[in-house]
Chain A
Amino acid sequence: MKAIEVKGLGKKTVNGEYILKNVNLEVNSGEFISIVGPQANGKSTLLRLIAGLETPSEGSIKVLEKEVRGTSPEIGMVFQETVLFPWMKIIDNVTFGPISKGVDKKKAREDALQWLSTLGIDKFAEKWPYELSGGMQRRATIAMIMVNNPSILLCDELLGGLDLVTRSNIADDFLKLMHEKGCTVVYVTHLLEEAVYLSQKVYVMSSLPGTIYDKIDINLPEKRWEVPNLRFSKECAHYVETVRSKFEEAFTKSPHEVEA
């Protein structure tokens, strides 16, 4: 089954300039894909369109074989910046989604605590967001999304702004989690190593107006967290090199058409 199907998608700004043009993308259910590309080429816009926060100017987006009309609880999205509601305690932040959807408060609290302990921050349930460090806040945001049980997860720079060790720790936890839940993940990043390590397919996007330039299949073992030092292995490096050359091609060759 196709989880996400994007056909001939275009998005214009208010001035009529194209941000995205003729984007075609297919993601199977349970697949983990990454999208890499230069900065400011509409990667985030693509995610926002799939999430239903914006409407496309051209083409169509189908999620779970239904046309996207506004946000839906099936799709979870993690923004580029950490978003926690600062006026709620961590536990209230995490239960916000389930309670919004009508889950019983007690049940929502139990689920939330479960997720917080999975992510290793259950100690901080009764704290205010400002009392947490950046990495913990990021984990709390992931808990907020995951407690809603989305079948599709869109991540915009999930690990942005975190240090290397935290980054790889969260990445492994995250990968394991997604595997267990059978989530479909679309992961946007500009770090090629991360894209290769996490995903089964890497899509390379061109610079503005953004379109899919190429697709690279990554054939690494499925349970990557079980292989020691896979991140630094030769295969991994080989894929990173492939993606990097495509990335450079996309960067230099794509026409820089900006319509006035």
Chain B
Amino acid sequence: MRLTKSEAVIALAGLLIWPFLILLNVTLPDAANRPNQPKEVFNSIIMIFTLILLSYLVFGILLKKQPKARVITVMNAALVFGVFFFLWLVVVGKIGKLNTHSFPSPNTVFDVFYSDFYFLTYKSSRDSIFRAFAGYFLALITGIPGGIWFGRTMRRFEVAYPLAKVTAHVPPVVYLPYAIAVFPSISHAIIFMVYIGAFWPIFINTLFGVYNVDRRYIEFAKILGASEKRILRRIIIPSAMPTILAGCLIGLVLAFVLLTAGEMVGAHTGLGFYLMYHTDIGYFDKVVAAILLISFWVFFWITFGFDMVQARLLRWMRRI
């Protein structure tokens, strides 16, 4: 493994920035006077370092094959997050010109993950992820088979397309008040909204992917004597897979967007609720902690739930 000069500089910087940050944070106290500073300081840095680096480490090792590519992926991430963290730490935490209540320092924020472990890190995450995935999973098992069925012939496509065109662009949030009124619980209403939001991109992408399969593939498969069922399974679905997966990614991101929006409106648990509740009572460190946790979960599921499936299913495609 040989790194070029600029790659080596990045790798070294990514490696050194974290010990430097720990040193900086330990030697220089936050501008806001808080008790039990030292323990908290150490915790927060170790925590963010471990979280980001570990997840990227696994990500890099699982997705990239060559050791060089792995090192570069992980070190790039370490450097980018390190610089971000450095700016936040210095500008907000150390200089102390900003209102420390409205703009909490990273030390205060990361302490929330510990001090509020049960409600935020465990319970809110669990409830939110359950809701997001219940809706998303329903969207997958209806959107993909539905899209395949409707995209299969021109006639069916012409039924589905106008319908999709009218319905898909309605912002899913508009269903929420009605869903809250009709469904037995707020959780059901949120799951329903997430389902609607994730369903359309998945369905439409599958529809177009299947409908636009290159005719030559199908004709050639026919020439080779394949049955309709085999053509569907071995030709049409793999050929449409890149488009289907693109729809699944949009659906996944949208699921989290709608989830938090829904939880802010009416839920009594979950990350969106946690965030809204603590904004109302003015605990902004907890708000920022919730925002970070949401972004972490979106990152986590896109990387581990999605990118890995995609890398596996599309391994036949030429990588740039």
Q: Is the CB of A81 within 8 A of B216?
A: yes
Cβ of B241: which chain A residues have Cβ within 8 Å of it? Answer: 87
Minimum CB–CB distance for B84 against chain A, Å: 37
Which of B221, B225, B241, B318 counts the most chain A CB atoms within 10 A? B225
Minimum CB–CB distance for A244 against chain B, Å: 32
Cβ of B27: which chain A residues have Cβ within 8 Å of it? Answer: none
Cβ of B181 under 8 Å from chain A: no
Which of the candidate stretches B52-60, B231-239, B264-272, B276-284 sits at the interface with the other chain? B231-239
Alpha-carbon gap, A117 to B219, bound state (A) = 26
Cβ of B217: which chain A residues have Cβ within 8 Å of it? Answer: 83, 85
Alpha-carbon gap, A232 to B90, bound state (A) = 81
Alpha-carbon gap, A148 to B225, bound state (A) = 9
Interface string of A190-210 (1 = CB under 8 A from B): 000000000000000000000
Minimal Cβ-Cβ distance residue in B for A92: B234
Cβ of A101: which chain B residues have Cβ within 8 Å of it? Answer: 225
Q: Is the CB of A96 within 8 A of B226?
A: yes
Cβ of A148: which chain B residues have Cβ within 8 Å of it? Answer: 224-225
Contacts across chains A and B counted by CB atoms under 8 Å: 61
Q: Is the CB of A71 within 8 A of B238?
A: no
Cβ of A81: which chain B residues have Cβ within 8 Å of it? Answer: 216
Minimum CB–CB distance for A94 against chain B, Å: 10
Interface string of A60-101 (1 = CB under 8 A from B): 000000000011110111010101011110000000110011
Q: Is the CB of A51 within 8 A of B317?
A: no
Cβ of A124 under 8 Å from chain B: no
Q: Is the CB of B223 within 8 A of A71?
A: yes
Cβ of A75: which chain B residues have Cβ within 8 Å of it? Answer: 223
Cβ of B227 under 8 Å from chain A: yes
Q: Is the CB of B224 within 8 A of A87?
A: no
Q: Is the CB of B317 within 8 A of A53?
A: no
Cβ of B220 under 8 Å from chain A: yes
Cβ of A144: which chain B residues have Cβ within 8 Å of it? Answer: 224
Cβ of B221: which chain A residues have Cβ within 8 Å of it? Answer: 85, 96, 100
Alpha-carbon gap, A51 to B316, bound state (A) = 30
Which one, A71, A128, A129, contacts B222 given CB within 8 A? A71
Minimum CB–CB distance for A103 against chain B, Å: 10
Minimal Cβ-Cβ distance residue in B for A147: B224
How many residues of chain A have a CB within 8 Å of chain B?
A: 26
Which of A53, A72, A85, A129 counts the most chain B CB atoms within 10 A? A85
Q: Is the CB of A86 within 8 A of B225?
A: no
**B interface: dominant SS:** helix
Which one, B216, B219, B223, B238, contacts A87 given CB within 8 A? B238
Q: Is the CB of B219 within 8 A of A85?
A: no
Cβ of B123 under 8 Å from chain A: no
Cβ of B230 under 8 Å from chain A: yes
Minimum CB–CB distance for A9 against chain B, Å: 20
Q: Is the CB of A97 within 8 A of B225?
A: yes
Q: Is the CB of B219 within 8 A of A100?
A: no
Which one, A53, A73, A85, contacts B225 given CB within 8 A? A73
Alpha-carbon gap, A87 to B235, bound state (A) = 9
A83-B216 contact in complex given A75-B223, A96-B221, A100-B227, C-beta closer than 8 Å: yes
Minimum CB–CB distance for B233 against chain A, Å: 11
Cβ of B220: which chain A residues have Cβ within 8 Å of it? Answer: 79, 83
Residues of B73-127 at the interface with A, using a CB-CB cut-off of 8 Å, are none
Minimal Cβ-Cβ distance residue in A for B313: A87
Residues of B192-221 at the interface with A, using a CB-CB cut-off of 8 Å, are 216-217, 219-221
Residues of A128-170 at the interface with B, using a CB-CB cut-off of 8 Å, are 128-130, 144-145, 148
Cβ of A145: which chain B residues have Cβ within 8 Å of it? Answer: 223-224
Which one, B216, B222, B239, B316, contacts A130 given CB within 8 A? B316
Cβ of A97: which chain B residues have Cβ within 8 Å of it? Answer: 224-226
Cβ of B239: which chain A residues have Cβ within 8 Å of it? Answer: 85, 87
> Which 10 residue pairs across A and B have the least CB separation, nearest first?
A97-B224, A87-B238, A100-B226, A73-B225, A87-B316, A130-B318, A83-B220, A71-B222, A101-B225, A100-B225
Further pairs besides A53-B219, A77-B223, A85-B221: 10, Cβ < 8 Å: A70-B222, A73-B225, A81-B216, A85-B239, A87-B241, A96-B226, A128-B316, A130-B316, A130-B318, A145-B224
> Can you give 19 A-B contacts (C-beta < 8 A)?
A73-B224, A77-B223, A85-B217, A85-B221, A85-B234, A85-B239, A86-B316, A87-B241, A87-B316, A96-B234, A97-B224, A100-B225, A100-B226, A128-B315, A128-B316, A129-B316, A130-B317, A148-B224, A148-B225
